Structure 1
């Protein structure tokens, strides 16, 4: 329900494709309304009300279409907050930055959930947990050492991480007890940043060819589309474990399917070029693959932390202070992303 404007700063709440009640607990929404006049557009399907209040908006929670002309009408706008997790190409980011608008994202809210899930997938690939569960349900299980012929330890294994943002760093911290050798490929970071965390800054080729476990966290850009094509996948050692939990566009899935079918390596896949995955997808028949329906980060605790982060940072900004919990988009990078909404 929309509120009546008052002397409090105006916040336009239009979180689609996210849902208001998924990211804001009742307490967080109450706290937001205590400080701001919230124009709640969670259920609004047209732009009339949004455009009416846009000139008075202090902040926009969500990422509606904002070209330069529309932004020029937002004279009081201080923050544009993406609460879905992906920066979409429907905003003139250059115009926003030129107006002094902070572009903020909630990606870090998902990092712990995705990191823990990624670790779980790696252990599953190492020990065949879900595969043997299926075998027992089908009455075809093997016992003790017979069921462990291709099992390996994650402990002291060589690990590769592609992309060292929120997800890569969170996963790296979880790997500390396993005493891995960790090679990291991230062309957006100097080697010193990676080495200060105990990783080894490496090329893509070295990371792939030297790692028994490879985690893919690279973001989708024009440059990274099909980063893992056939020749790149061929660099993986025989029997390697590949964990895909970030952007599907980074991988050539036809090439991936061909190599998995040939038994070159094992994979756990949580992101797909088409979702839902078609019922007749050949990936569903692979025994060396753990299948996951894009669920690594989408848990209640992660969603609700987004609302808390928004309330904390907007409250700080209303006091004339800088936001500290949400992640500020870099003007040099945000326009490069080629992300799609997660439905």
Structure 2
């Protein structure tokens, strides 16, 4: 198969790079199976019309106006590699045309959930401030050093949103036997209950 016969991919993954996204073997496979046009997010709309008309996939989250989308005649999927779905493209029109917008949220969920748990433990036990006081020779001991401390174990916890990150955090919290309430207006209560959390209003959370 000639290079021009391969499915065309517009690659504009800033702030990431293809080398960061793919392992070397997978990147080599990607380059072998697709015709890749590399550019910056700001330059996507200005690509030649024949490139836009042939583009099957976009890697990245470049700004796409309704006018630009009209020229993307055979676009099937946008691979958002930054995860945050910024309001820079007409999502309603994309969905109406059956064009998928997928993210890498699941990749980041567990690392970010662990970071969130670490921050929660720090707030509950005042770890950073206690360490700083110790280094300055101002540490407090016994009850004085734990006057504002609280246990995460058995605590009441609220989570706003129960997507990839919320679910990953909930899995980490199971070891702490927390009572976890979740507000997510997009999910039915049955899904929350199946995941061992209590559906709740935003005010309650």
TM-score, normalized by the shorter chain, greater than 0.5: yes
Name the counterpart of 1:75. 73
Greater Rg by CA: 2
What is the CA distance between 1:194 and its match in structure 2? 0.9
- Matched pairs, number: 204
Name the counterpart of 2:39. 41
Alignment partner of 1:17 is 2:10: no
What is the CA distance between 1:138 and its match in structure 2? 2.2
CA contact (8 A) 2:12 2:39 kept: yes
| Alignment partners' CA distance in 1, 2:101 and 2:44 | 23
What TM-score do the two structures reach when normalised by structure 1?
A: 0.55
| Alignment partners' CA distance in 2, 1:95 and 1:128 | 48
Question: Superposition pairs for residues 210-249 of structure 1, below 5 Å?
Answer: none
Structure 1 runs (4+) deviating above 4 angstroms are 42-47
Structure holding more helix per residue: 2
Cα offsets for 1:74-130 (capped at 9, x unmatched): 122111111111112221222222332112122222111111111111111111111
| Alignment partners' CA distance in 2, 1:43 and 1:189 | 32
Q: Residue 120 of structure 1 is aligned with which of 103, 118, 121?
A: 118
Q: Residue 156 of structure 1 is aligned with which of 150, 154, 157?
A: 154
SS of the residue 1:198 aligns to: coil
Structure 1 residues 119 and 54, CA gap change in structure 2 (3 angstroms): same
What is the CA distance between 1:51 and its match in structure 2? 4.5
Cα offsets for 1:207-244 (capped at 9, x unmatched): 2xxxxxxxxxxxxxxxxxxxxxxxxxxxxxxxxxxxxx
What is the CA distance between 1:200 and its match in structure 2? 1.0
Name the counterpart of 2:165. 167
Question: Superposition pairs for residues 1-343 of structure 1, below 5 Å?
Answer: 5-41=3-39, 47-49=45-47, 51-207=49-205
| Alignment partners' CA distance in 1, 2:3 and 2:45 | 18
CA contact (8 A) 2:182 2:200 kept: yes
Unaligned 5+ runs, structure 1: 208-343
| Alignment partners' CA distance in 1, 2:41 and 2:61 | 15
Unaligned 5+ runs, structure 2: none
Structure 1 residues 200 and 117, CA gap change in structure 2 (3 angstroms): same
| Alignment partners' CA distance in 1, 2:158 and 2:96 | 38
Q: Which structure is richer in relative contact order (CA contacts within 8 A, separation 6 or more)?
A: 1
What is the CA distance between 1:64 and its match in structure 2? 1.8
Cα offsets for 1:233-291 (capped at 9, x unmatched): xxxxxxxxxxxxxxxxxxxxxxxxxxxxxxxxxxxxxxxxxxxxxxxxxxxxxxxxxxx
What is the CA distance between 1:46 and its match in structure 2? 6.9
Tell me how large the CA RMSD over aligned residues is: 2.2
SS of the residue 1:203 aligns to: coil
| Alignment partners' CA distance in 1, 2:111 and 2:105 | 11
CA contact (8 A) 1:20 1:42 kept: no
Structure 1 residues 75 and 195, CA gap change in structure 2 (3 angstroms): same
Cα offsets for 1:309-343 (capped at 9, x unmatched): xxxxxxxxxxxxxxxxxxxxxxxxxxxxxxxxxxx
